[in-house]
C-alpha cells in the first residue's frame, strides 16, 4: 500500500504580518514604515507573509491584524533609553505600552490589538523597534542615528521570521 503525501493545506500555514507603523512626516516617527519599505524592496517572502505600511491607521488596522496568526510590529519606541537603543517587546510587555501612550498612532494601534480579544483572534505579537531621537520635527528624513539602526532592526525582523520557519530570499538588484 502506497500512502499519498498529504496535500499542502493552506489552513495549516500560519498567516504572518510584518507591520510598520508611524508617521513618515515626523522624522524618526516614521521609522517602522521605512523599515517595512526596505524589507519589501530587498527581500522576497512566501505568500503567507504580508508586509504592511500601517502608517497612522491605528484602530483601522483591526481587520488586518485580527486575520493573522503572528504579528511583527516595527515602530519607533520611546522607552526612556538613549536614541538608537533597540527593543523587542513581547507578552506582558506589549499591554504595558498602552499605558505609556507615547504617540497617538501607538495608542490607537495598541487599542486595535486589544480589540482583537473581542474577535477571539489575538495574534502572537512581537514589537521591535528603536528609541527615536526626534519625533517632533517635520521632515521625511530619519535622523542619522536611526538611519544607522535600520539594518539592525531589519535583522531583528528577519530573525523573528526565521524563528517562525519562514524562508526568504534576497532580491537581485539591478
2-47 confidence digits (pLDDT tens):
433 344 455 689 999 999 999 999 999 999 999 999 999 999 999 9
Task: Identify whether 4 is part of a domain.
Answer: no
Looking up cell 532592526, which residue turns up?
A: 153
So what's the pLDDT on residue 105? 46
114-129 confidence digits (pLDDT tens):
666 655 677 899 999 9
Q: CB of 23 within 8 A of CB of 56? A: yes
Task: Give the domain CATH number at 92.
Answer: 3.40.50.1450
Task: Identify whether 6 is part of a domain.
Answer: no
Task: Identify whether 2 is part of a domain.
Answer: no
So what's the pLDDT on residue 104? 46
Q: Is 67 exposed, middle or buried (0-12, 13-18, 19+ CB in 10 A)?
A: middle
Task: Identify whether 153 is part of a domain.
Answer: yes
Three-class SS state of 156: helix
Task: Identify whether 5 is part of a domain.
Answer: no
The mean of the pLDDT values for the chain is 84
So what's the pLDDT on residue 119? 59
135-168 confidence digits (pLDDT tens):
999 999 999 999 999 999 999 999 999 999 999 9
Task: Identify whether 63 is part of a domain.
Answer: yes
**Cα 90 → chain centroid:** 12
Instruction: Specify the number of domains making up the chain.
Output: 1
- Closest CA relative to residue 112, chosen from 154, 68, 81, 143: 68
Amino acid at each position: 500500500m502506497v500512502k499519498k503525501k498529504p496535500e499542502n493545506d493552506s489552513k495549516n500555514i500560519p498567516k504572518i504580518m510584518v507591520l510598520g507603523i508611524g508617521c513618515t512626516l515626523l522624522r524618526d516617527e516614521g521609522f517602522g514604515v521605512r523599515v517595512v519599505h526596505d524589507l519589501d524592496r530587498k527581500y522576497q517572502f512566501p505568500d503567507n507573509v504580508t508586509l504592511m505600511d500601517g502608517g497612522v491607521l491605528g484602530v483601522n488596522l483591526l481587520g488586518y491584524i485580527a486575520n493573522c496568526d503572528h504579528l511583527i510590529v516595527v515602530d519607533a519606541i520611546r522607552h526612556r533609553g538613549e536614541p538608537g537603543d533597540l527593543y523587542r517587546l513581547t507578552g506582558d510587555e506589549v499591554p504595558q505600552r498602552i499605558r505609556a501612550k507615547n504617540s497617538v498612532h501607538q495608542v490607537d494601534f495598541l487599542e486595535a490589538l486589544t480589540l482583537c480579544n473581542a474577535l477571539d483572534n489575538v495574534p502572537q505579537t512581537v514589537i521591535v523597534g528603536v528609541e527615536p531621537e526626534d519625533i517632533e520635527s517635520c521632515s521625511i528624513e530619519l535622523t542619522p542615528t536611526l538611519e544607522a539602526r535600520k539594518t539592525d532592526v531589519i535583522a531583528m525582523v528577519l530573525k523573528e521570521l526565521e524563528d517562525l520557519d519562514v524562508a526568504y530570499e534576497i532580491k537581485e538588484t539591478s
